Amino acid sequence: MSLAVRRRPSPNHDGRGGRPVRQLILHYTGMKSGAEAEARLVDPEARVSAHYLLHEDGEIVLLVAEERRAWHAGVSRWRGVDDLNSTSIGIELVNPGHQWGYRPFPEAQMRQLLRLAAAISRRHGIDRADVIGHSDVAPARKTDPGELFDWGLLARHDLALARPARLLADPLWPDSAFALALERFGYDVGDLKAATAAFQRRFRQRDVAGVIDGETRAILFTLQVHEEARLQGAGETT
């Protein structure tokens, strides 16, 4: 079944320079209302956009065609790749964010996100490890979609990495070794506390203070082991 999409073209886009789409980046709008957010995303003076806007009632608005480069990620980095605007699809979810009364994302909005993210991932062959939040790619600047976003729901539909159900032991890394492991996982660790908090917003949402503790180390270590096994298994079948 095709998705119903309302079109409201934004002028804020340019070419990808021949770079393929590799990531799906999720944001919250962080504005008082969906109407205000939509107006900003099509305002040429704002110089921001996304490919899609997803309202709280589930309405999907197409702002920029997927083959074009929308301006949603800003200064960003993931897995050693910079300029993620050129290699990603951006979805803005209407939510007032931490500044204006952050709240859980409604069921109707999340249900539509599942459908939209699945369609985008299929079209572009996006790996579930590259379905990420704005805070993952810009941890020193951004906190969205935040600790109330239901990453577990996406993971249960194989659209994002899941927090491991069972953790391996704390590897007892010193902070320097944790930073290296976190960077290898994908994060920019120039601001280690911010990068740690971003990781926690994904995988330990009840405590996102950015403190490197035993549980956070164990989660990262377990994710590394699971991902290495998954990628090795995928390689063996190709």
Residue 1 has pLDDT above 60, yes or no: no
Question: Per residue in 60-96, pLDDT tens?
Answer: 999 999 999 999 999 999 999 999 999 999 999 999 9
Nearest CA-CA partner of 99 in 29, 194, 30: 30
Give the strands of the sheet with 60-62, arranged side by side.
5-7, 60-62, 52-54, 88-93, 23-28, 131-133
Q: Rounded to whole angstroms, how far apart are CA atoms 168 and 219?
A: 8
Last residue of a domain, one of 125, 146, 161: 161
Residue 237 has pLDDT above 50, yes or no: no
Last residue of a domain, one of 161, 195, 217: 161
- CATH code of the domain containing 187: 1.10.101.10
Q: Within this chain, do residues 107 and 45 fall inside the same structural domain, yes or no?
A: yes
> Which residue in the list 38, 56, 92, 147 is annotated as catalytic?
92
Task: Give the mean pLDDT of the chain.
Answer: 96
Question: Per residue in 6-43, pLDDT tens?
Answer: 999 999 999 999 999 999 999 999 999 999 999 999 99
Q: Within this chain, do residues 121 and 172 fall inside the same structural domain, yes or no?
A: no
Q: Within this chain, do residues 84 and 196 fall inside the same structural domain, yes or no?
A: no
Range of the domain at 5: 1-161
Which letter does DSSP use for residue 58 in this model?
S
Q: What is the pTM of this model?
A: 0.96
Please provide residue 4's backbone torsions phi and psi, each rounded to the nearest 5 degrees: -80, 125
Q: Within this chain, do residues 74 and 105 fall inside the same structural domain, yes or no?
A: yes
Q: Within this chain, do residues 151 and 177 fall inside the same structural domain, yes or no?
A: no
Residue 122, both tokens: 């299929």
Is-catalytic flag, 183?
no
Count of the separate structural domains present in the chain: 2
- Looking at the chain, the whole-number percentage of residues with pLDDT higher than 70 is 97
Question: Per residue in 178-223, pLDDT tens?
Answer: 999 999 999 999 999 999 999 999 999 999 999 999 999 999 999 9
Output the pLDDT for position 235.
64
Output the pLDDT for position 219.
98
Output the pLDDT for position 2.
79
- CATH code of the domain containing 64: 3.40.80.10
Q: What is the DSSP string of 59-98?
A: -EEE-S-TTSEES-S-S-EETTEE-GGGGEEEEEEP--HH
